[in-house]
Each structure stands twice: as C-alpha cells, then as structure tokens.
Structure 1
Amino acid sequence: MREEFLHYLWKYKKFQFSQLTTVQGESIVISKVGEHNFNSGPDFFNALIKVGGQLWAGNVEIHVKSSDWYLHNHENDIAYDNVVLHVVWEHDTQIFRKDNSELATLILKDYTDIRTIENYNDLFSNERRWIHCEPFFADMKRFDLQHWLERLYFERLERKSKTIESLLEDSKNDWEAILFIMLAKNFGLKVNGHAFYTLANSIDYSVVRKSQNNIEQLEALFFGQAGLLDKDIQNGYYQELKKEYQFLRQKFQLANISVASVQFFRLRPPNFPTIRLSQLASLYHNQNTLFSKIIETNTLEAFYDLFKVSTSKFWETHYTFEKSSKASVKTLTHSFIDLVLINTVLPIKFLYAKQHRNESEDSVLQIANKIASENNSIVQAFNNLKKVSESALQSQALIQLKTEYCDKSKCLQCVVGNKFIGKIAK
C-alpha cells in the first residue's frame, strides 16, 4: 500500500463517508477534507471535522501505519501540532500529542470498497505495460480526455516558460535577445540544437542588431561562430564570408571557444547546419523587429507568412561549401515552421501574455489547435490505443502526459487513472 493512494482516497472521498468512527470509538463527521499540501508539513490543510460532537478546524495527516508518525518524528515538529485527525491504513500504535492527549485516528481500510482496492492494484499490476492504464485507455470518454489534454498542454507551456524566464533574468528582460537564442536552438533541431544554442549565447544580441541590414554580415557572423569558416576553401563566397567574419570578430571582440561543434552526420541535406543558419540569417535580415511581430501575430496563416524565408543565393545550388548541387530554392516548410511555433514562439507568447496580463493566451490555444499533430513515437503509441491527437495542442499534451505522469507513475493525479478507479467504486 502506498501513501499516495491514501491521499487519493481522502481527497476524492473514495470511501464510505457516513457512520465513521475513530479507533477510540468517537463519531467522525467530515465537513471539509482540506487542501492537499504537496510541500512539507501535514498532508491536508484547513480541514473541518467533527469528532465526538466537537467541531475542529485544523490539519489532517495521512500514513500507511500509525507508527509512521513517530518514524517521521512528527511528535517533535510544531508544524504538526494542529493536526485534528490522523488517517491511516493500519493502526499499530496509539499516537499522543505533546499534552499527552490521544490523537483521533481513522482507519481508512475499514471504510474502503474492496473493488476500489482491486482496481488500484490492477492499475499497477503489470510493469511491462507501456503505460499503466493501457488496457482501459480507450474507454475514456472523448470529452473528459480532451479537457484533460488541454490542461496538460498549459502545464507543458508553464514548464517551457520557466526556461525562458531564467534566460530573461540573465538578459535583463531583453525579449528580442531571448527570442534569438530560442529560435537558434530550434533551427538546430535535435542534432544541432545544443550547438546552435551555444552559438547564439556566444553573440551579444546587439551585434545581431547591428548586422541585420547586411545579409552577408549575418551569415559571416553565424557561420564564423559555428566554426564553419576555419578551412581554406577556394571559392569566392567562402573567402568573402571568411574575410567579413575576421573583421566582425575583431570589431566586436567575438570568441567562439564555448560553441559546440555542429554536425552533418545522419542529417538530410535540407537540415544541414549550413542551410539552417542561412535561413536563420535571412529571417533576421528580413524582420528587424521580429519579437514585436510575433506578439502582434495571432493566426497560423500569418505566422506562415512571417517565417516564409529562404537561404541566400549561394545555397540554392549548395548544401555544403565544397560541393555544388542541383538548383532549388530552400524555403522554410510549413512543417518546420510548425516546430518553431510549438517549441519557441507559442511558449514565448504565452509567457509574455502571462506577465503582461493580456488576452494572447487565447490566441496561443487557437493556434496550437490549428497546427497539425506531431507524429513522434509517443503520439503514435497513444493513437494506437485511441485516436486522440489531431493537433499540436493534443500531441504536446500527450508528451506531457507520458513524461510527467505515466513514466513517473502519477496515475492518481491523472484524470484517466482517476476515472478508472472512480467508476469501480459505486
């Protein structure tokens, strides 16, 4: 038996709620179970409970065994002086307050439906399942599941916004600079995300601002900081970039010693770092006030227009500096822009709206609902159980569900696990 399950039973009143008595034989009437406390201190604050006809306002502490009270040294902690009821699964010893009065104790096992316990055990019985609720996930009502996924999506936005908040503190609230760092990381995708992130951090954003009007300067800046201009390649474009970078490096006192190496291995040519860096340079060359435009933009179609950029001319016939290729205009695809929106733009819009208390949160939700669902292994596995992901909002929510709930066995904090146990106990 796990204490988490006892918290669930108490919080959601999944036990016989009438004719309760303490181990001392006094009646218990619960008016309010209290507020669940996830930090240190008693498990539930501000409960309202009548014991033996006396109404008490105070806290509730829950343990598997009564003796856990002493095991956790609660008798020496003033935070537990206001506990009015001790809820346990097994009563193996009497508990006394500092004034030697016995603490009222409720044995929860005596009032819990056996079917609820069986269902709880079934939920965690097979560790080989991909998720604990795999056999009955498909039984979830669509309305309940979609409502839960929307909450999970905002949880994921909150998690991502914490990273942005930390960067903002370091940059003294320079939103444009943080947008550049996050976009750079996103343009690098999984393989080069870290390298592009370190690259962006190695450049003071004021240098980007001063170079925006000249696409060649921006490319020289990005390629040079990425360590891609260190060779002796004999073509005019490469030599011009190299010369420009040497000028910029001296002028702005640039150093790239902390920049991680970019990778080409196992990447499709359209995702080569050369192509993505050229596209990033084109984006900043075309959009001088990109952050302001992102905040003002509230439709998916407008974002597709905003991020519709291509490489510079040289890269229309190249993927690397050394070898030419068949001519093609290498424009950011809608699927790539979707990733940029999901991982960078929408989290930034969400945090900005939250800090400035405007209504952009609604537009974040609307845009996420219009972006096509991601198609990774987590989303595919959930869809195999029940077709549930049709948008980026839902696919992001499913990632949050799997990584933060399923993988951590937080089934009792999940609507799916909650519903499964609840429908058994009638």
Structure 2
Amino acid sequence: MNEKYLHFIWKSKRLLSAELTTTTGESVRIKNFGDYNFDSGPDFFNGSILLGGLLLHGNIEMHVNSSDWMKHGHQFDLAYSNVILHVVYNHDMEIVVNGSVLPTLELKYLIDWKHFNESKQKLEFRSRIPCDQQLKDVPTKIISDQLKLNTHDRLQRKANEIEHLSKNLRWSIHELLFRFLLKNFGGKLNGFPFLELANQIPVYRFLRSSMQVREAILLGLAGFLDHDFDHQYEQELKSNWTFQKHRLQLSNVDSSSFKFKGARPASFPALRLVQFATFSNHFDWSCDFWSLEPAEIVKVFMDALTKEPTSYWENHYHLGRPKQKPSSGKLAKEASLTIVINAVAPFLFWYGQKQGDIVLLNKAIELLELLPQEKNKVLERWKSLVSYPSNARFGQAVLELNNQWCAPKKCLKCLIGKELLNLSQS
C-alpha cells in the first residue's frame, strides 16, 4: 500500500462502505472530503466530518500507518494542530493532538483490492522525458553539447539568486556566503524559511559566540525553544536564547513555516540548524576560499561540514525527541557534498562574474568535475537512457535539462529535440 493510492480513493470518494466508524468505535460521516493539498502540510484542507453527532471543520491527514504521524514529525509541526481526522491504511498506534486522541479512520477493510491492483501501474513514477524512447538515436556529441549548455544554465540560475540577495542588502562577501550557505542547509523543503531566519542573524556577533550560544540563537530564532523542557541541555539552550534574544534584540520567526513532512529525521530542520552551527564553528570565515585550487576548496568545506555537533544530538533529531537508536548527529557525507555542489560552486561562479574573472568561472566547473553526482530518481532514470560522465557537473546539467527543459517541453529549443525533429522529417 502507498499514500498515493490512499489520496486517490479519498479524492474520488471510492470506499466500499458509507457506514464508517473510527478505531474507537465512534460513528463518523464525511460531510466534506476536503481540498487536496499539493504543498507541505495536511493532505486535505477544509474538510468536515460528523463525529458522534458533533460537526467538526478542519484538515484531514493520511498515512499508510498511524505511527507515520510520529515518524514524519507532525507532533512538532503547528500546521497539523487543526487536523480533525487521521485516515490510515493500518492503525498501529494512538495519536494525541492538543491533549486528545486524534479520531482515526482505518481503511484496511474498506479498499477495493481489484481496483487497487488495476491502478497500481498508473500510480507508479512516470518519466517526464518526452523523447525517452528516441534518445538512443541521438548522437553522443549532440547530447554532450546540450548538457554543456545546461551546466552553464544551472550555475547562472543560481548565480542570479545570489545576485538578487547581494542587491537587497548591503552585506560583505562573507556575510553573503554565510546566508546563502544557511539557506542551502535547509534544502528544497526548508531553504526559504532558513533564508528568512538567516536574514535576521547579526553574522559577525554570531560568529564570535560559543558553540552552544550559536545553537541557541538558531533554534531560538526558529521558534523551537518556545517550550518547557526536561533535559538539562535543552534548558541551557532556552536560557541562552532568552538572554541573547534581549541582548541582540532578536525575534523568532513562526516555527510553523518549517516543514517536517517529506523530510527524513536526519534532515529535520532543528538538526540541520545545529549542523550549520557546527559548520560555522569550524569554518574559517576570514578565508578567501576562492583563491584556492578546486581540490583545496572541496577539502576546506568538507572538513568543516562533516564535524560532529554537541553530544546531545547523537540522541535527538529534534528538541525533546529522542532517536530510537543513538547515532552520529553530524551532516552525512552525501548531504555535505550536496551543499558544496549547490552552494559553493554557484557562489564561485557568481563571484567570478562579479569580478569579471574567467579563472573563477572555470574553477566552479572544475570543482563540479571533481565531485560525484547526487543520488536521486531523476539521475537514475537518465543514466538508464544515455551515457554521460558520473560527476557533479553532468549531474547538475541533467537535472537542469530534466526540470527546466523536458518538464515544460521546450523541445524546440533543445539540441536533442531539434536533432530528433530533423530525423523524423527526413
């Protein structure tokens, strides 16, 4: 079973029975199945149910197992505080929200299994590559030339983002680097909330602080310290934040803007903020890293990115949330490489353009050639269709081609598309 199918039958109201009861035996009638949410947050907004004669309005969340609520960290996310019904395939634990057991509807015995088996193939990952069946007919040079164009496109697009940041505020080059790196620690899911947080940090005063104070400032600004805590380290963080908040005249952002849904525990925002605090403590911010050779640049950043945070984070992904098994709290090597690929290389490229220095522009390309490509389904799909070098330069090019050209079907601008159109006309 998968959530995609659960979403589908809920949207289409395809349940085997209209007589529904919650896992605690209460009668529940669905008055409004809600509006499907394509972004983060509960799966269906603005639903309404009649529960034991009481009409409730709010959001509806769906999972394969009830325990996925905890695994996905919804208990820490205010965006889920207005969920009125938890719809699951398998009920394996009670979920408590706002001090009350969350009404849960189990679908295990309400599913049309014949329909599920027939629909399974339709719900699987589909290629967004219009020419995937014809790629074998395209000369290698055409594909290579197109990917070289896409390498530049991707670096330019990210350089434009840095340029926009540099014009909005009068930051020094190292302050700009600080904020752009912090944004990238948030990844796709939390990049913009992390940037909002970064914009409020007095960078140089932050960098003169102790490690624990750095953690307190980041977690406090994110709104993660506005609770009562039992653990001594958590209490120390909160005490530090209370002092720094008044000393530096800071105010926290809305913690509900940070997204947990879709993030693995190792990527939860609190842990990523602490990992940035650790990185910031070990990186030499006075260093003009762009003057180094590409291999040295990689080493400087990887050394700082892979340092261990304070021992508390060996046992926690989020404040007050113990890990099931203690493990390292440091940023994984793959995640560290992703930050170098998506932040450091574009920053080099932007600075090269800013200075009119072709050496720096080439360094950005050379740096990507030194690193392995990222691991994701898009690159796996392309690797099965065409042959290209397995380094980050071509990996970034393929992602740009797939997301910015293939998905919106810009085939007439693509060298590969033009080649195939010429073949089909000849």
TM-score in terms of structure 2 length: 0.63
The reply to whether residue 246 of structure 1 matches residue 211 of structure 2 is no
CA contact (8 A) 1:379 1:389 kept: no
Residues 130 and 223 of structure 1, relative CA distance in 2, 3 Å threshold = closer
Matched, 1:228 2:224: yes
Number of the residue aligned with 2:302? 304
Offset, 1:191? 3.0
1:316-335 maps to which residues of 2 (within 5 A)?
A: 316-325=314-323, 326-335=325-334
Distance 1:267 1:356, change over 3 A: same
Query: For 2:377 and 2:327, how far apart are their aligned partners in 1?
Result: 31
Amino acid at match of 1:181: R
What aligned pairs does 1:254-333 form with structure 2 within 5 A after superposition? 254-257=250-253, 261-265=257-261, 267-289=263-285, 292-293=288-289, 296=292, 298-299=294-295, 300-325=298-323, 326-333=325-332
CA shift at 1:283, angstroms? 1.1
What's the counterpart of residue 417 of structure 1?
A: 417
Q: How far does residue 220 in structure 1 lie from its aligned partner after superposition?
A: 0.7
Contact map agreement 2:150 2:397 (CA 8 A) in 1: yes
Shift of 1:187: 1.4
Cα distance in structure 2, aligned partners of 1:188 and 1:297: 27
What residue ranges of structure 2 are gaps of 5+ in the alignment?
1-125
Per-residue deviation, residues 60-106 of structure 1 (Å, max 9, x unmatched): xxxxxxxxxxxxxxxxxxxxxxxxxxxxxxxxxxxxxxxxxxxxxxx
- Tell me the distance in 2 between the aligned counterparts of 1:216 and 1:290: 21
**1:362 to 2:362 alignment:** yes
1:369 touches 1:393 (CA, 8 Å); kept in 2?
yes
Identical columns (%):
28
- In structure 1, the residue matched to 2:373 is 373
C-alpha displacement of 1:231: 0.7
User: Equivalents in 2 of 1:294, 1:224: separation in Å?
Assistant: 32
* 1:423 to partner: Cα distance: 4.8
Letter in 1 for 2:327: S
Deviations 1:101-132, CA, capped at 9 Å, x for gaps: xxxxxxxxxxxxxxxxxxxxxxxxxxx98433
Please tell me whether the aligned partners of residues 202 and 258 of structure 1 are also in contact (alpha carbons under 8 angstroms): no
Equivalent-residue separation in structure 2 for 1:407 and 1:357 (angstroms) = 33
Moved more, 193-202 or 298-307: 298-307
Equivalent pairs counted in the alignment come to 297
SS at match of 2:294: coil
Equivalent AA in structure 2 for residue 334 of structure 1: K
Distance in 2 between the 1:262 and 1:366 partners? 34
Partner amino acid for 1:352? Y
1:274 shift after superposition: 2.6
Matches within 5 A, 1:16-415: 130-211=128-209, 214-257=210-253, 261-265=257-261, 267-289=263-285, 292-293=288-289, 296=292, 298-299=294-295, 300-325=298-323, 326-358=325-357, 359-388=359-388, 390-415=390-415
For the aligned residues, what is the CA RMSD?
2.5
The alpha-carbon distance between structure 1 residues 416 and 339, as it changes in their structure 2 partners (threshold 3 A), is same
2:95 aligns with: none
Deviation at 1:425, TM superposition (A): 6.6
1:270–1:319 Cα contact (<8 Å) kept: yes
Which amino acid counterpart does residue 220 of structure 1 have in structure 2?
Answer: A
Deviation at 1:294, TM superposition (A): 5.5
Residue of structure 2 equivalent to 1:34 = none
CA distance in 1, matches of 2:258, 2:218: 12
Deviations 1:246-280 (A, max 9, x none): 11111111012466533444533322223211111
SS of the residue corresponding to residue 223 of structure 2 reads coil
C-alpha separation in 1, matches of 2:156 and 2:271: 32
Letter matched to residue 321 of structure 1:
L
1:227-258 deviations in whole A, cap 9, x for unaligned?
A: 11111112221111111111111111101246
Relative distance call for 1:364 and 1:154 in structure 2 (3 A) is: same
Distance 1:264 1:412, change over 3 A: closer
Q: CA deviation at 1:339?
A: 1.0
Q: TM-score, normalised by structure 1?
A: 0.63
Whichever residue aligns with residue 416 of structure 2, its letter is V
Separation in structure 2 between the aligned mates of residue 129 and residue 314 of structure 1, nearest angstrom: 43
Distance 1:319 1:130 in 2: 34
Mark the structure with the bigger radius of gyration: 1
Contact 1:354/1:361 (8 A) holds in 2? yes
Q: CA deviation at 1:328?
A: 3.0
CA distance in 1, matches of 2:292, 2:332: 22
Check 1:241–1:294 CA distance in 2 against 1; reply closer, same or farther (3 A cut). Answer: farther
Find the counterpart in structure 2 of residue 18 from structure 1. Answer: none
Q: Does the 8 Å contact 1:194/1:260 carry over to 2? A: no
Seen in structure 2, the aligned counterparts of structure 1 residues 284 and 303 have a Cα distance that, compared at 3 Å, is closer
